[in-house]
Amino acid sequence: MKKETTIRAEDTGPGRELTSEFISSINLALDQNKTNDAIGLVQSLHYADLADLLENLAHVRREELVEALRSDFDPNVLAELDETIRERVIDQLGISQIAEAVAGLETDDALEVVEELAADEQIEILESLPENERTLIEEGLSYPEDSAGRLMQREVVAVPQDWTVGQAIDYMRDTNDLPTDFFDIFLVDLSHSPVGTVPLSRVMRTNREVALIDVMRKHIKIVPVEMDQEEVAFLFRQRDLISAPVVDNNTRLVGVITVDDIVDVIHEEHEEDIMRLAGVGEEDDLYSAVIDTAKSRFIWLLIHLIAAILAAYVISFFASTMEEMIALAILMPIVAAMGGTASVQTLTVAVRAIAMKELTMSNAYRAIGKEVAVGILNGIIFATIIGTVAWIWFGSPALGGVIGLAIGLNLIVAGFVGSSLPIVLQRLGFDPAVSSSAFLTSITDIVGFYVFLGLAAALLL
Amino acid sequence: MKKETTIRAEDTGPGRELTSEFISSINLALDQNKTNDAIGLVQSLHYADLADLLENLAHVRREELVEALRSDFDPNVLAELDETIRERVIDQLGISQIAEAVAGLETDDALEVVEELAADEQIEILESLPENERTLIEEGLSYPEDSAGRLMQREVVAVPQDWTVGQAIDYMRDTNDLPTDFFDIFLVDLSHSPVGTVPLSRVMRTNREVALIDVMRKHIKIVPVEMDQEEVAFLFRQRDLISAPVVDNNTRLVGVITVDDIVDVIHEEHEEDIMRLAGVGEEDDLYSAVIDTAKSRFIWLLIHLIAAILAAYVISFFASTMEEMIALAILMPIVAAMGGTASVQTLTVAVRAIAMKELTMSNAYRAIGKEVAVGILNGIIFATIIGTVAWIWFGSPALGGVIGLAIGLNLIVAGFVGSSLPIVLQRLGFDPAVSSSAFLTSITDIVGFYVFLGLAAALLL
């Protein structure tokens, strides 16, 4: 949630859309050194759109624009920026201006900016903050990365459990440092543990004299401060939550997580899954430097290289077979392609199901059985298609039979290994999205080549 | 949002966790025909957890449990179920009980259940609903699938723009058919067009005599009823929205979309992306039947087969070259594997960036340039590694040079085509996630084999 010092109308800007034409006109203004025109153009942008614009500009243009905006740079833009770009903007603005900006953010956004900084910069910024704000951010930094503690906002609305609706309304009208926007009131007991939540819409609809405890949701989901953000996101999605109380190890209420931050977490976690499946780093995006991107992809390419060399080694056993029948060498890539495609399909479904908590140990056998059945079905169909193609192409029904058999078997292996491997890896504590794919391709390649060339050596020569 | 007829405490259930042990004890009770034990166990479950439980049980067990729960089956469970399972449960419960259940849901949830039914079942259910509810659902069905109109809830809190905070509070206290939970009050003009929103927390904190118009957010995001849900989700994420007003073609306020539904949309859309990249249908999950899954994967396998046959055809030009130097046949899979891995990496990053609206025509050249640069960097490194391996393995520095060159070039091609192809496809109106991958692998395979075998024919023999 964003911090605003006073409530007033017209606080979100006219919401101009970021069209290509708009970006072009900004670029043009900067090109022609018409700084004031550029400032004029972006002045009415919502901070989220301004962040998008900065991400979209080339390095030099972005630096020019940030420089132009320097004196009235909206701190909320910082929290919205992509990490790589944020770092550059922070460097450019300089630590003293960042300190000022951080002071203008709510704790969750401030923490997001501060946690990305180098240790010495963190100290410098923290020292320049008012004491109570500094304490809150230091506490936030003490929680594990990606935990509820890093995500929560410290400003909460908590009232004693024996209050009435009327008392709560009067308290809210009279208190100045409430969060700008909030959705639930938390009822706490004498030890400041949350005992229930009252959605604001219920407070609204209930008469002043009614006790809050009579309209509260009692069996609420309470988030421990150390809970992983992925778990928190699961809770929110499962229960359609808008906000949830966060408690420390003594079950004292210490903060609140709101759904807008969860939307970002869900995004991040999905991003991680899809990126890991493809073997690219999570921070591999348009904005990261060429060298960082190349590095982040190197390991994955290397692992696949090793797997491919292993497969080539298997093939080398059959060098003389291939010399006698070069059609085998020609058809080999088809064996690899089909096994690879089928395993990526199975793997993706399994990895997603694990991430969604749909695939667990209690239904693992059923899931694996299903994938094997799918492998058998498509295996028979593709064995027939490819067998026929090879027969016609090379005029050898036996060759057709051999490649058909190899590919049919390969699809079944892909179904079995593609579904069981991620389950086993997950069980062993590895991330199935990261570790499965190279493994799997190498298994289907080796099985495929071995069956194909081995059968050919035994039956065709 | 869920519908509740009266506000009361303890309305969300004790939130028991769905552990493996819990599922086992349900299975055991059902196995031993102790139906009452099973009912006792699930009675205290939250409807979202009960939906998860039903998804987790084997077909027969699920049918037994649904039968046991029949008379007091919570309609909210229906809205939470996976589509495939939901269809089966609906079939089992029968149309008349479903009609009753639908009447107990808010319009957005009811619509979600009804839109999945066959046309004749829809008519039957609609006929059994009270008139005003039927009209709302019929209207909902008239909007395009995946549009804001299908997503919105019709129950909104809208008040005239000249009201004060006090008038709004009195209205909310006195009106019975408000939505159970809501987060914003919408101000409308005389033609019922939304002119601003007032978050409830602001209503709370403001004195009764203040005019709503003085504390409203004026420049709000208004969602046209036909807007695609992906666009709506983008708006919510971009602006940290909790709810947004939906308007018809005459800008009249017709409903509200709340963030809990958007969380589901974000999930679905991500799911679609990741599934499409891997070539599996979006409804390909643990619950769909073997035959449906096999069918949904067939096309993708077929496309990859055609691409692989094309690559094999290219290889066949060089049959005599390979016969003379069988090492070429042995090394070939390495060329294909490296090109394939690099293109999946590039493609995934590009497809994600397009989906996130980070990659647009205005920065396309920059993005492609970056991917080519990454390709050159890793191309040089892997050319060296593989060249050296091949040299040592086969004792031929020339062979090492040829394969190194082929793979280096292949990584550059993967970077260029992997980033430009999805941009072009998107521009032409295709979904880049669906259409890119087979294309791309086939391009890198063919380029790789052609360069590798062609250079070998020219230089080595």
Interface of A with B in 152-191 (CB under 8 A): 169, 172-173, 178-183
The answer to whether position A91 is within a domain reads yes
Q: How many CB pairs under 8 A join A and B?
A: 403
Asked if residue B302 lies in contact with residue A376, where contact means CB atoms within 8 angstroms, the answer is no
User: What pLDDT shows up at residue A276?
Assistant: 84
Asked whether the ipTM of the predicted complex exceeds the cut of 0.90, the reply is no
Using DSSP's 3-state secondary structure scheme, residue B187 falls into strand
Long-range contacts of B387-393 (CB under 8 A, 24+ apart): B389/A309, B390/B327, B390/B331, B393/B327
Together in a domain, B182 and B322: no
Together in a domain, A329 and A353: yes
A-chain residue closest to B12, CA distance = A219
Together in a domain, B108 and B214: no
User: What pLDDT shows up at residue B15?
Assistant: 44
User: What pLDDT shows up at residue B3?
Assistant: 47
Whole-number Å distance between alpha carbons of B331 and B326: 9
Pairing of strands A184-188, A158-160: parallel
Contacts of A348 in chain B (CB under 8 A): 274-275, 277-278, 280
- Residue B173 sits in a domain whose CATH number is 3.10.580.10
Closest by alpha carbon to A264, among B51, B450, B262, B88? B262
> What are the residues facing A158 on neighbouring strands?
A186
**How many domains does the structure of chain B reveal?**
3
Please judge whether A353 and B297 are an interchain contact, meaning their C-beta atoms are less than 8 angstroms apart.
no
User: What pLDDT shows up at residue A225?
Assistant: 94
A165-219 pLDDT, tens digit per residue, is: 999 999 998 888 788 789 999 999 999 999 999 999 998 888 899 999 999 987 7
Task: Please state, for a pLDDT cut of 70, what percent of chain B lies above it.
Answer: 96
Closest by alpha carbon to A168, among B333, B288, B201? B201
Test the A interface: residue of B28, B81, B170, B205 with most A CBs within 10 Å = B205
B343-359 pLDDT, tens digit per residue, is: 989 998 898 888 878 88
Test the B interface: residue of A282, A314, A317, A341 with most B CBs within 10 Å = A341
Closest by alpha carbon to A114, among A88, A84, A87, A154? A87
- Residue B363 sits in a domain whose CATH number is 1.10.357.20
Distance in Å, alpha carbon of A343 to nearest chain B alpha carbon: 9
* Region A156-169 average pLDDT: 94
User: What pLDDT shows up at residue B17?
Assistant: 63
Contacts of A239 in chain B (CB under 8 A): 12, 15, 46, 48
The answer to whether position A3 is within a domain reads no
Asked if residue A54 lies in contact with residue A62, where contact means CB atoms within 8 angstroms, the answer is yes
B91-112 pLDDT, tens digit per residue, is: 888 888 888 888 878 778 888 8
Asked if residue B350 lies in contact with residue B432, where contact means CB atoms within 8 angstroms, the answer is yes
Together in a domain, A173 and A82: no
* Region B282-289 average pLDDT: 74
Q: How many CB atoms lie within 10 A of CB A158?
A: 14
Whole-number Å distance between alpha carbons of B283 and B171: 44
CA distances from A304 to A310, A433, B208, B333, B418 (A): 10, 15, 67, 11, 18
Label residue B392 exposed, middle or buried (CB < 10 Å: 0-12, 13-18, 19+): exposed
Together in a domain, B335 and B428: yes
Q: Closest partner residue to A56 among B242, B285, B363, by Cβ?
A: B363
User: What pLDDT shows up at residue B130?
Assistant: 83
Contacts of A205 in chain B (CB under 8 A): 7, 172-173, 178
* Region B28-51 average pLDDT: 85
Instruction: Inform me whether the pLDDT recorded for A6 exceeds 50.
Output: no
Together in a domain, B437 and B337: yes
The answer to whether position A250 is within a domain reads yes
Q: Give the range among A162-176, A344-358, B7-21, B296-310 with minimum mean pLDDT.
A: B7-21
Task: Please state, for a pLDDT cut of 90, what percent of chain B lies above it.
Answer: 40
The secondary structure of residue A304, as a DSSP letter, is: H
Together in a domain, A185 and A125: no
The answer to whether position B275 is within a domain reads no
Together in a domain, A395 and A328: yes
The answer to whether position B4 is within a domain reads no
Instruction: Inform me whether the pLDDT recorded for A239 exceeds 70.
Output: yes
The answer to whether position B412 is within a domain reads yes
> End of a domain among B151, B181, B212?
B151
> End of a domain among A134, A151, A168?
A151
B333 at interface of A, judged by CB pairs closer than 8 A:
yes
Together in a domain, A197 and A223: yes
Q: Closest partner residue to A337 among B207, B216, B304, by Cβ?
A: B304
Pairing of strands B223-224, B243-247: parallel
Label residue B376 exposed, middle or buried (CB < 10 Å: 0-12, 13-18, 19+): middle
Q: What is the DSSP string of A314-366?
A: HHHTTHHHHHH-THHHHHHHHHHHHHHHHHHHHHHHHHHHHHTT-S-GGGHHH
User: What pLDDT shows up at residue B310?
Assistant: 92
* Domain housing A233: 158-259
Q: Indicate the residue type of B148.
A: A
The answer to whether position B298 is within a domain reads yes
User: What pLDDT shows up at residue B409?
Assistant: 95
- Residue B132 sits in a domain whose CATH number is 1.25.60.10
User: What pLDDT shows up at residue A5?
Assistant: 39
Instruction: Inform me whether the pLDDT recorded for A19 exceeds 80.
Output: no
Contacts of A352 in chain B (CB under 8 A): 271, 274-275, 285
Together in a domain, B343 and B447: yes
Together in a domain, A434 and A326: yes
Instruction: Inform me whether the pLDDT recorded for B4 exceeds 60.
Output: no
Confidence of residue A34 (pLDDT cuts 50, 70, 90): confident
Q: What is the DSSP string of B354-423?
A: HHTT-S-GGGHHHHHHHHHHHHHHHHHHHHHHHHHHHHHHHS-HHHHHHHHHHHHHHHHHHHHHHHHHHH
Distance, CA of B342 to chain centre: 25
> End of a domain among A259, A275, A310?
A259
User: What pLDDT shows up at residue A13?
Assistant: 40
Together in a domain, B181 and B127: no
The answer to whether position A109 is within a domain reads yes
Asked if residue B382 lies in contact with residue A297, where contact means CB atoms within 8 angstroms, the answer is no
Label residue A264 exposed, middle or buried (CB < 10 Å: 0-12, 13-18, 19+): middle
User: What pLDDT shows up at residue A351?
Assistant: 87
B337 at interface of A, judged by CB pairs closer than 8 A:
yes
Distance, CA of A10 to chain centre: 33
Instruction: Inform me whether the pLDDT recorded for B7 exceeds 50.
Output: no
Q: Comparing B265 with A272, which gets the higher pLDDT?
A: B265
A-chain residue closest to B18, CA distance = A357
Please judge whether A305 and B385 are an interchain contact, meaning their C-beta atoms are less than 8 angstroms apart.
yes
Query: To the nearest whole number, what is the mean pLDDT of chain A?
Result: 87
Asked if residue A217 lies in contact with residue A119, where contact means CB atoms within 8 angstroms, the answer is no
Residue with tokens 């250079």: B455
User: What pLDDT shows up at residue A17?
Assistant: 62
Confidence of residue B309 (pLDDT cuts 50, 70, 90): very high
Q: Comparing B352 with A254, which gets the higher pLDDT?
A: A254
Confidence of residue B171 (pLDDT cuts 50, 70, 90): very high
A279-313 pLDDT, tens digit per residue, is: 887 677 777 788 888 888 898 899 989 999 999 99
Q: At what angle do helices A59-69 and A47-56 cross, to 10 degrees?
A: 140
* Region A113-140 average pLDDT: 84
pTM: 0.81
Six-digit token string for B186: 């919408």
A377-420 pLDDT, tens digit per residue, is: 999 999 999 999 999 999 999 999 999 999 999 999 999 999 99
* Region B170-193 average pLDDT: 89
